[in-house]
Amino acid sequence: MYHGGYTGNTLWVDLTRQDAKIEPTNPQLARLYLGGAGFGVKLLYDVVPPGTDPLGADNALIFAPGPLTGTASPCSSRITITARSPLTGAIGMSVSGGYFPAMVKHGGFDAIVIRGRATQPTYLAIRGQEVRFRSAEGLWGTSTIDCQLFIKEELRDQNYRIACIGLAGERLSLMAGVFNERRAMGRKGLGAVMGAKKLKAIAILGDDQIPTESMLQLPSWLQPSSGGPCRRL
């Protein structure tokens, strides 16, 4: 059940171990950082040590939709992708719209955190609470448009929404982007991070719905700790 725009779940993926687990979203994280860009930067700060190689296995790739994403709020289907940038060595973030952001939320997640590195080209197929690690050997070398078409055919469902990389990401180009439909998350070379992890794509399908009445009042765990004005930071 959604409350206040949050699903209450974060998906953690380890490509090295081919392991995925769902953990509760930290209420304090939601209270202070609101989702989207806030989640991406804070989670990156928490899990990626200083000096981490942007193209190494210890870098994290974080997909985080905003709290309004997936609701009836107009123009709200937005998602950020965050990692340590191979282009700058600093925090790298890019933003996209389209159907993929809303599907991440309808899939039941406030964020997807991807770490490690696969030994062979891989893509993630996420449906409900199930995460499958599937071979992308036959997809390696395809364009982003072809990749999305082939995955939908392979999974036998045209309703999957997909974020993927093309040849530039596979070849670790520092201007490589991540694409969903024809929309590009093209800043900071984050497609190269995805390519370095041997992750060709993320395909997700979900049907969780957000009750509109849940957006009218914040849940108790997001209420201010006192009845007074907001604390100055």
The superfamily (CATH) of domain 9-205 is: Aldehyde ferredoxin oxidoreductase, N-terminal domain (3.60.9.10)
Q: How far is CA 73 from the centre of its chain?
A: 20
Edge-first strand listing for the sheet containing 130-135: 130-135, 122-127, 199-205, 161-164, 178-180, 183-185
The mean pLDDT of 197-202, rounded to a whole number, is: 98
Q: How confident is the model at residue 228 (pLDDT cuts 50, 70, 90)?
A: very low
Between 29 and 151, residue with greater pLDDT: 151
Q: In the structure encoding, which two tokens stand for residue 160, read together?
A: 């999957």
What pLDDT is stored for residue 55 in this prediction?
A: 97
Mean per-residue pLDDT of the chain: 89
What pLDDT is stored for residue 218 in this prediction?
A: 52
Between 227 and 97, residue with greater pLDDT: 97
Q: Say if residue 232's pLDDT is above 50.
A: no
Enumerate the domain spans of the chain.
9-205
Q: What is the pLDDT of residues 209-224, one digit of tens each?
A: 664 444 445 555 555 5
What pLDDT is stored for residue 3 in this prediction?
A: 61
State the amino acid at position 176 in one-letter form: A
What are the E-state strand segments in 168-209? 178-180, 183-185, 199-205
Find tokens 């409900």 and name the residue.
128
Between 215 and 6, residue with greater pLDDT: 6
Q: Say if residue 70's pLDDT is above 60.
A: yes
**For 31, left (φ over 0), alpha (ψ -120 to 50), or beta?**
alpha
Q: What is the pLDDT of residues 120-138, one digit of tens each?
A: 999 999 998 899 999 999 9
